Amino acid sequence: MKKLLAVSLIALSVSFAKAQENKDVYKIDLPSYDWKMKDGKYKEVFEQNCLMCHSPGYVFGQAKGKSGKDMWRTVVYQMINEFKAPISKENAEKIIEYLNENYTNKN
C-alpha cells in the first residue's frame, strides 16, 4: 500500500512538473496597435463594437478618400449584415455619428 502511495505521489509530481513546463506553450502575444483615435462623442461605442475584429487602422485605411455619412452607414451595416457584427441599431447609429463627425473627408 505504501509503495502504491509513493508511486502515485511521484506520478502526480511528474505531471505537475509537466504542466509547469507547458505553460510557455500557451503564452500568446495579443496584437497591439498604437493608433490614436480622435476623441469625440461615442468614441467608446466605436471602440467597443468595431475593434473586436480588426484594428482602427484597418477601418480608416480602407475608407480613405471616400468618406461621408452614407459611406459610413454602408460600412457599418455591411459589418452587421454580412460579417454578423453583434451591434444594436442604436449603437450602429452612434457609431455612424462618431465616424461621420471625426473621420469624414471634407474634400
Residue 84 in the binding site for ligand HEC (CB under 6 A): yes
Q: Which of 57, 61, 89 is nearest to 76 (CA)?
A: 89
**Which three cell numbers, joined as nine digits, stand for 74?**
454602408
Residue 45 in the binding site for ligand HEC (CB under 6 A): no
User: Is the separation of the CB atoms in 63 and 41 below 8 Å?
Assistant: no
Among 59, 67, 94, 103, which residue sits at the site for ligand HEC (rule: CB under 6 A)?
Answer: 59
**Which three cell numbers, joined as nine digits, stand for 61?**
485605411
Taking the least distance from each CB to ligand HEC, the nearer of 66 and 107 is 66
Residue 75 in the binding site for ligand HEC (CB under 6 A): yes
